Amino acid sequence: MSSYYGRPVIKEPTWTWQIPTYFFTGGLGGASSVLSLSATLFGNEQLARRALYIGALADAACPPLLIADLGRPERFHHMLRVVKPTSPMNMGSWVLLASGGASSTAAALERLGRLRPLRHTAATVAALFGPALATYTGVLIADTAVPVWHEGRKELPWLFGATAAASAGAAACMAVDPEHAGPARRLAIGAVAADIALMRAMELRLGEVGEVYRKGAAGTLGLAAKALAGAGATVLAKRGGRSRGAAVLGGALVCAGGLCLRWSVFKAGFQSARDPKYTVGPQRARVEREGTKVTTQPKA
């Protein structure tokens, strides 16, 4: 395969450490809001309250992270000067505003013990936007020219949703007494299983483009993610229902695994953008297979 002195065809993202961290906190916040509302509906008050606080804290961490990554942080509000469905980042800004605003309102009212109806309305709004907050980041990175992200567009929202659910369940396990944490535990364990299966499915379907997940930082972080989340889920399953210490340990391991998984996906994008073979190879193969209109050959 030819390239221009081995130089990349596309640019690597300019995003720094705040972005994968945000993928984690946004996922945790969004899924925790759903967990909290479900706990309210099923009458598990301790879980409802603590998941609400976790969701509000995680949501509150998001804007500072995102603003810090901007080249012009003082212009962060320009994100909200248009409504633009072709831009997942724009849509995500609105979702974060709605979800984060609602979850922090609900958590503040819960803490103050006032205005119960408004607290419930706010918690419901947070839970409505939470699933979008937990999954849109998959669309955000898929909607780029980065081969490993764009070709993974079917799985990425599912993968990020599963990681979000695992993190929310795990964080709740850490904060809630074991006798009230059953649903959170089952959520964390089930989501970790889904997460590992989705990651594997995505790698298999991506073929050669997906080999960045077995290389370099993305490979190491991916292994760490599976090991940490798998170990955490095992601890939660075996001891999480009886021992608070085990629940904290297991929950922390699952959360750490979720963070590593976001970092692995993030790093994979850089590795995929950097090597021209991932851009040129599949495109050239598509040309051989389907033809192309981008080049006009002379008439014979």
Partner 1 sequence: MSSTLGHPAAAPDGWDAYGDDQQPRVGFFTDTSVCIGCKACEVACKEWNLIPEDGLSWTGESYDNTSALGANTWRHVAFIEQEKPLHTNGDGSTGLRWLMESDVCKHCTHAACLDVCPTGSLIRTEFGTVIVQQDICNGCGYCVPACPFGVLDKRHIAKPPELPAFHGNEDGRVWKCTLCYDRLKGGHEPACAKACPTQSIQFGPLDELRERADARLAKLSGEGWNGVQLYGRDPDDGVGGFGAFFLLLDDPEVYGLPPDPIVTTKHLGEMWSSMAAAATVLVAGVACAFIGRRR
Which residues ranging from 41 to 70 are in contact with partner 1 (CB under 8 A)?
41-42, 44, 69-70
Q: Does 287 participate in binding partner 1 (rule CB under 8 A)?
A: yes
- By CB under 8 A, the residues from 83 to 112 that bind partner 1 are 83-90, 93
Contact 155, 61 (CB under 8 A): no
Q: Does 117 participate in binding partner 1 (rule CB under 8 A)?
A: no
Nearer to partner 1, 79 or 228 (CB): 79
Nearer to partner 1, 112 or 294 (CB): 294
- By CB under 8 A, the residues from 199 to 238 that bind partner 1 are none
Dist CA 26 CA 262 (whole Å): 11
Nearer to partner 1, 16 or 114 (CB): 16
Pick from 60, 124, 150, 227 the residue near partner 1 by CB under 8 A.
150
Q: Does 135 participate in binding partner 1 (rule CB under 8 A)?
A: yes
Burial class (CB in 10 A: 0-12, 13-18, 19+), 247: buried
Nearer to partner 1, 108 or 162 (CB): 162
**Binding pattern for the stretch 182-201 against partner 1, x by CB under 8 A and - elsewhere:** xxx-xx--xx--x-------
17 vs 22, 24, 105, 262, 267, CA distance in Å?
A: 9, 11, 28, 11, 10
**Angle at the Cα of 42 from the Cα atoms of 115 and 54, rounded to 5 degrees:** 60
Contact 58, 29 (CB under 8 A): yes
Query: Tokens standing for 81?
Result: 């000067």
